[in-house]
Structure 1
Amino acid sequence: MKEILTQINGVLIRENFVGNLPYNPNLKILLKGKRKAGILSEVIFWKQVHANKFHHIDFDRQRIIGNYIVDFYVKRLGLVVEIDGWSHHQKQIYDGVRQKYLESLGLNVFRVSDFDVKYNLDVVMRDLENFIIEHYA
């Protein structure tokens, strides 16, 4: 039986740790720049989840998985959070391939728009709670 990680709205959330994820060390050089870029929606989201503020869940920012850098990752859930900005409108095929790859590793991907993080943050956080309940309860 999987260990209980937390509770959300009275619902027990169980761990789903996915070990031995592929890692491309050549991408490490890009991490610092991506973190310093300070993309507003990522900063806003990070302020909501860093330091276990969101239901005592530990989020990593800018994590390398395979040949990709994901926006946020929850190791103990195997959860990727992607914030899609304006550039993603032209990259739907790329995003689809990327998401299928991440899911093939046993990860779940929660996608949210840059706009919603900036202007509907309460809804985003509630949708994230519901996503976690749906996939990890």
Structure 2
Amino acid sequence: MRGNAQGLTKRQLLPATTVGRSRELRKNAGEPERRLWRALRETLPGMKFRRQVPMGPYHADFCSHSARLVIEIDGDDHMSKQESDAARTGFLEHEGYDVIRFTNTDVMTNLDGVLDRIGARIAHEQKGRP
């Protein structure tokens, strides 16, 4: 059976405002997020990444369900949010996702390096899968 005992999926259990919040986050994405989004679509089109994916109480910046990978882009304010970032990472890992984090500076100054790390992580995760 798909979903919980009542047949509801995780998405159906989300608050009604979640879809609107996801749309708002996508619409107001910063330049690092827009740049990485374009690069992911061009470089790794088969991975089918999604943006601002609701996951429990959080929105993952980028998620590939097939690779079980979440990519987070951390702005300058994340130095003061290390505790909440650790809680977010713990939640996502408990849900079965691998989490990789980059700073805005990484994306803006070393996009090829960021893509190399993402590609290496995907290759490592898919190693041994049929």
Normalised to the residue count of structure 1, the TM-score between the two structures is 0.78
Instruction: Name the larger-Rg structure.
Output: 2
Q: Is the 8 A contact 1:27 1:64 kept in 2?
A: yes
**Runs of 5+ unmatched residues, structure 2:** 4-8
CA distance in 2, matches of 1:69, 1:131: 21
1 or 2 for the larger relative contact order (CA 8 Å, sep ≥6)? 1
Q: Runs in 1 of length 4+ with deviation above 3 angstroms?
A: 19-23
CA distance in 2, matches of 1:68, 1:38: 16
Q: Is the aligned partner of 1:30 residue 2:34?
A: no
Given residue 124 of structure 1, which amino acid in structure 2 is its aligned partner?
Answer: V
Q: Is the aligned partner of 1:126 residue 2:116?
A: yes
Q: Is the 8 A contact 1:82 1:109 kept in 2?
A: yes
CA distance in 2, matches of 1:38, 1:105: 25
Given residue 45 of structure 1, which amino acid in structure 2 is its aligned partner?
Answer: L
Q: Is the 8 A contact 1:27 1:67 kept in 2?
A: no
Normalised to the residue count of structure 2, the TM-score between the two structures is 0.82
What is the aligned length?
A: 118
Sequence identity, in percent?
30
- Point out the structure with the larger strand share: 1
In structure 2, the residue matched to 1:93 is 83
CA distance in 2, matches of 1:67, 1:38: 19
Name the Cα RMSD after superposition: 1.9
Compute the displacement of 1:122 (Å): 0.7
Q: Is the 8 A contact 1:72 1:82 kept in 2?
A: yes
Compute the displacement of 1:135 (Å): 2.5
Among residues 67, 74, 85, which one is paired with 1:77 in the alignment?
A: 67
